[in-house]
Amino acid sequence: MRRRDNIDIVVHGKLKDRQGALLDVKHAPTEPSVPAFVPSINGVGGIPSTPSSSQSLGTQPYLFSLHNQAMTAAGKWMERQGIYFTGWNVSQVGVVPSGGTNAGSFFNNNVGIGADFDLKKIIGIPGAQIHFFALDTSGEAHAGEFTGSTWGYLSWLGAHDGFQVREFSWDQALFRDRLYILAGRGNPKGGEFEGSELYCMFSAILCSAPAAMSANSAVPSTTISTWEFRILVKPTAHSYLKGGIWEVEPSLKASNHNSWPGPDWGFDRAQGEYFPVEGGYRTNFSNDLYPRAYDLGFTYDTSVYSDPLYNTKGLARATYGGTAQPRRGRTQLYVQAQQMVWKPQEKGTRGLILFGAANFQLSGNPPVKRGFVGGLVDWGPFASRPRDYLGIAVQAFQWDDRLIRAMNDTYRKQHSRQKWAHFETMLEVNYGFNIAPGFVVAPYFEYIWHPDLLSYSTLPSHTEFALQTGVSLLMQFAPAFDLPALHRVRN
C-alpha cells in the first residue's frame, strides 16, 4: 500500500500534521469513506465494488484464498491496457419461523459481471470511462408472502428474473476533475442519489437507498436501467452538487425486458421523467481520521400513478370499486448523515460508524409520508478480525393518510373492525465474517412490527409482527482474484 506522508488530515475540525494517509485514494476503485472490505454502493452498477483487501491495515485470518500469480499478472496486464474486469455474486436464504402470514423459506441469487474501460489508456481521451454491467437475478427474493411486508425483502431483490443490463454509460471528467458528466443507461437508485456504502451490508431491510425512495417513485428496480443524464460538480475536494434526469418506463418493471437493446431503448414507452438533485460533503480515510458524509436531496417524479384512495368518480375505491384515479407528480426531500465516531486506534480503520436518513413527502400521495433509517456499523469489532463487521439498522415508515383510509376501508369491507397501523418498523442485526479475500458470510436476524400487507387483496387479520432470519454469501471478483479496479467518482 502506498503512503503519502505529507498529507494533512482534518479531525473534528482540527488539523493534524504528517499523520500519513490511511488509504491511497487515487488507487482505490471507490471513494474510500469506510474501510475495505465494505460493499460500496459507489461501485459499478451501484452494487458493490470494494478496494482491494490488501489496502486494509489489519491482518485478517482467512480460511482460504483464490489469489494466484497467473490471475494477478493477467489483471495487471489488463490494467495497462485500460480494461478492468468487475463482478460479484450474492446468494441469500431467508426463513420466517414465526409471525407474518405464512411460515416458510425462500432463496435468491444475483450474479453480476461487467467491465470498466479507461479511454485515456485505450484511445487517448483524458478523463473518459465507459462502464458496462449486467446481472442475472433468480429466486424468490420477495418475502412478502411470508412476512406480510412489502418492504421486508431480501435486499438484493430484482424486479424479475432474467439476465439484465444494469449499466451502460459514458463517464467524462472535465475541467481538472471539477465536472463529471454521466450519460447512457443506468438507475438513480444504484447509489447515485441517497446512497451509502453501508446500506448493502444489510441483508433484509435496505440496500442501494432507503426504501422510501423506491416506494415513492416509479423508477424501476436497481437491477434495471433506463436512459440517464447526470452532472456532478465538485467545488472542493470534499463537497459536491449533482443532478440528473432519468426516463420512467414502467414496462421495464412489470415484464422481462431486461434492458437489452430493442424496443425498450426507444422513448415511446416513457411515461414520465425522474429528476433528482443532491448536494453534500464527504471525506475519506485519505484526508480524515474520522470519515463523514452529509447530504441533502430533492426528487421530482413526473410520471402518472394511482391515487391510493379514490376512483375516477372521486369515491373510495375499496368501498365502491372502479378504476383508481390517475395522479401525476410526486416530490420528496431527503437528508442523510454518517460519521465514524470512535476508534480503538487513532490511525486505524477499525471503529464505530453511525448513520441515518430521513425522507419527507412534499407533494402527491405516494405510499410513504415519512421514512426513517438509523443504525450503526462496528467495523472490526475484534482486533483479531479487523475486516469483520457488526451491523444494526432500523427502518420505519409513516404511511400516507389516504393509504391509511383505503386500508381501513378494505378491512371494513371484509366486516372486520381491525385498524391498519400508521407505521411499519423493521430491525435488522447481522454479523459479516470476512472468511477470505473477496468473501463475506453474513447471518442476519430481522424483526418487523406491523407488516404492511400491501400486496394482499384480502387483508389477513392480526398480523402484528414477523420474524425473519437467514444468511447471505457475498463474493466480489476483484478482491477475490486480486484484480485491479477502476476508480470512479460519484460524490
Mean per-residue pLDDT for 327-351?
A: 92
488 within domain boundaries: no
> Do the domain assignments include residue 486?
no
Please report which helix (H) or strand (E) contains residue 123, including its range. Answer: helix 119-123
Q: What confidence tens digit (pLDDT) does each residue in 169-199 have?
A: 999 999 999 999 999 999 887 778 998 888 8
Residue 478, classed as helix, strand or coil, is helix
Among 192, 199, 204, 283, residue whose Cα is nearest residue 242: 192
pLDDT attached to residue 159: 58
Mean per-residue pLDDT, 475-491:
87
More confident residue, 4 or 475: 475
Q: Which domain holds residue 225?
A: 9-480
Query: Does residue 389 have a pLDDT over 60?
Result: yes
Instruction: List own/partner pairs for 338-346 with CB under 8 A and 24 or more apart.
Output: 338/33, 338/196, 338/198, 338/292, 338/293, 339/290, 339/291, 339/292, 339/293, 340/34, 340/290, 340/291, 340/292, 341/290, 343/289, 343/290, 344/383, 346/289
Average pLDDT over residues 199-217: 85
Query: 421: pLDDT confidence band, cut at 50, 70 and 90?
Result: very high
Q: What nine digits make up the cell of 265? A: 431503448
How many domains would you assign to the chain? 1
Query: pTM for the complete prediction?
Result: 0.86
Residue 121, SS3 per DSSP: helix
Query: Has residue 3 been placed in a domain?
Result: no
Among 24-38, 51-65, 266-280, 388-402, the minimum mean pLDDT is found in 24-38
pLDDT at 419: 92
**N- to C-terminal Cα separation, the chain:** 24
Cα–Cα nearest to 377, from 344, 350, 348: 350
The predicted structure's pLDDT at residue 217 = 87
71 φ/ψ angles, rounded to the nearest 5 degrees: -70, -40
Per mean pLDDT, which range of 87-101, 140-154, 312-326, 363-377 is the poorest? 140-154
**Is the predicted pLDDT of residue 455 greater than 90, yes or no?**
no
- Asked, for residue 1, whether it belongs to a domain, the answer is no
Residue 155: predicted pLDDT: 56
- CATH value at residue 29: 2.40.160.180
Whether 11 shows a pLDDT value over 60: the answer reads no
Q: How far apart are the C-alpha atoms of 52 and 44, rounded to whole Å? A: 15
Judge contact between 415 and 435, C-beta under 8 A: no
pLDDT (0 to 100) of residue 143: 66
Half-sphere exposure of 228 (CA within 13 A, CB side): 29
Per-residue confidence (pLDDT) for residue 352, from 0 to 100:
93
Q: What is the pLDDT of residue 141?
A: 59
Does 485 fall in a domain? no
Quote the CA–CA distance of 353 and 149 in Å, as a whole number: 28
Q: Is residue 58 part of a domain?
A: yes
Write the burial class of residue 63 (CB in 10 Å: 0-12 exposed, 13-18 middle, 19+ buried): exposed
